[in-house]
Structure formats: structure tokens, C-alpha cells
Structure 1
Amino acid sequence: MSDPRAGARQASRLTAPASASVRYAIVPVPKLSLQTVARRSGVHPDLIRRFVALGLVEAERDASGGLVFEPTAPAALARVQRLRTGLCLNYASIGLVLDLLDRISLLEAALRGRGTRSETPPWT
């Protein structure tokens, strides 16, 4: 059974403006192992596995079935931890807040791409 938040998050990334998401890798960036991400972020590997299962942090499986992460995973984990401790949110609420923040970023990028400026400063 798949997580609906993960699908919504993935769909929102697909609708992002092309100029905002295009990156050209000169050198391939290696994926990080679960142990490396845990060490860099200071989060226990079991908690990281839980975050992946809840769809709060994205991961892939390598050939041996282990979790591998993008280099941005420690920052994503820090964001989840800040929401948990700073706002005292449960994990379901954190997923909703992350989806809303991603959507706000997409909308702000779309406004910047059209040359439209908002009167209020950006949220993020």
C-alpha cells in the first residue's frame, strides 16, 4: 500500500517549472548510505527508516536492498526534526506541512518565472 502524501509530493515535483528543476551534473553525485546519513544528521537509523516509511524523507533501494539517499537527505531530516521540536507536530502533521511548504515554493517559483512580484515577502 503506497502513501498518498508521497504520490502528491512526487506529482507536485512533476508540475514544477522546467527552469526551476533543471540541473546539469558535471560529476555524478554518489548516493549516501543509511549509516552515512544517520551519522551526518545525528538521527538514529531506525528513526530514518520510519521517516522513509511515512514518506517524510525520500530514499531508494540499492541492488542489495539497502536504503540509499540523495546528498540533500541530512538537510531534509533536519527540516523534519525542526518541525517536530519547534512546533510540536506529530509525523502526520509534518507530512502535511512539508507538502504545503513544497507547494508554496512551487507557486513562488511560478510567480518569479512570470515576472510577477508579490507584495509580501516569501514564506521560505
Structure 2
Amino acid sequence: MNDRPAGAGGIGRAGVGARPVRTGADTTASTAVRYALVPVPRLSLAAVALRSGLHPELIRRFVALGLVDAERDSAGRLVFDATAPVTLARIQRLRTGLCLNYASIGLVLDLLDRISMLEAALRRAGTRSETPPWT
């Protein structure tokens, strides 16, 4: 469902953190490793549940389905990046507003991420369409 590389040890769509992220298709010695220079704030499952207004078990289910990025800390608990509540709100809007099932939501999230990447590439290249982005 997702063709983007996840962070090392990541769970979900694309983990981001202080762990190395391998880039490239192969794992030879020429594979680049990037390290975060600034620690990324991490949120516990309880904090994400409180901020999003969702039950922690539902959030665990979203992680298992690959809809939300999460990693495990040294104690084995789920930790999330600061954007997790925004992702959860987007999932809830897609579920209630469009009556999509969770498999469809994963596809829509991937497509929206791809659209955002393409729009950012257009902005960097200096070629921008006359119409504002629809997302």
C-alpha cells in the first residue's frame, strides 16, 4: 500500500525520528544514512489519544493497519511524532465525511501525500499552475 521507505524500526507509513534512515534501493556500502540533527519531539499513546479525542485502542488499530506512523521506544511502548493527531483527524474526516473503509483511507492518504510532494516539487522548480492547490 505504501512505497515510501519507513524509518529504521518504524511502524506504519513513514517513521521519522533520530534513528538512521537508509535511502536507495539496495543495502550496499554506498547506501546513504541520514541522521536527524535536532531531536524530534515524540508523543506517547496517551498524549496522542488525548489530543485527538480517540480511544487508545482505536489508535493502536490504525497503527496496525499502517494508517498512522509510530515507533516503539526502549520499553516497547508506541511513540508518535507531533503530526500524529493531524493524521488521525484526517482519517476521521475521511471515515465520517466520505464513508470510506480503512483500506480506502490508506490509499487516499497515500495519494494525498503524493499530491503534496508533487506540488512541492512544482514550487521548487518555479513552475506553478494558475489554480490554487485543491488540498
TM-score normalised over the length of structure 2: 0.73
Match of 1:105 among 97, 104, 116: 116
For residue 9 of structure 1, report the CA deviation from its aligned partner. Answer: 3.7
Match of 1:43 among 35, 43, 54: 54
Q: Which runs of 5+ in 2 are unaligned?
A: 7-13, 15-22, 25-35
Note the aligned Cα RMSD (angstroms): 2.1
Give 1 or 2: higher strand fraction: 2
In the comparison of the two structures, how many residue pairs are matched?
Answer: 109
Larger relative CO (CA 8 A, sep 6+): 1 or 2? Answer: 1
Tell me whether 1:116 sits opposite 2:127 in the alignment.
yes
Identity across matched positions, percent: 74
Q: Which runs of 5+ in 1 are unaligned?
A: 16-22
For residue 10 of structure 1, report the CA deviation from its aligned partner. Answer: 3.4
Give 1 or 2: higher helix fraction: 1
Pair 39,94 (structure 1): closer, same or farther in 2 beyond 3 Å: same
Superposition map of 1:28-67 within 5 A: 28-67=39-78
Secondary structure of the equivalent of 2:5?
A: helix
Q: How far does the alpha carbon of each residue in 1:45-78 deviate from its partner, in whole angstroms, 9 at most, with x for none?
A: 1100010011110000011111000111111111
